[in-house]
Structure 1
């Protein structure tokens, strides 16, 4: 019983830690595949930049929103930040 409580408490802290989130983002980045339909909808050819944005949305929604705002402001994508978020959410499971 005590071991279970220790494991549960440890797991909750571990999964919320900065270190785990950084590891998770790196692991996601290595495995992510960008669908052609998403690239077309967002009118982006830069797979690396798009993959980084998707990973940010998947690992930390606030960071993803900031990345979408940046893409829109720099004219890298013709969509608004909200449209970018919805487009990514259509193809990927977001938190």
Structure 2
């Protein structure tokens, strides 16, 4: 599996962060503002800020596609793609 920890996550679509079956309020994270005013963080920055030993899922979707990323379930890598979605439209 490939570590995707440097993947940028944007707050302009559907976004849910889950730790061990509990939803995390994305507002508790310190987001960077990009050139177009869209807030963003890398997956590594998310896990660094959350700082838990539990498994973290980040589910992000736009109209036609989405991905679910997972952290903390495998010792040999950090973040990986857990699954893909078809989007919300």
Shared fold (TM-score, shorter chain, > 0.5):
no
Structure (1 or 2) with the greater helix fraction: 1
Question: Which structure ranks higher in relative contact order (CA pairs < 8 Å, sequence separation ≥ 6)?
Answer: 2
Structure (1 or 2) with the greater strand fraction: 2
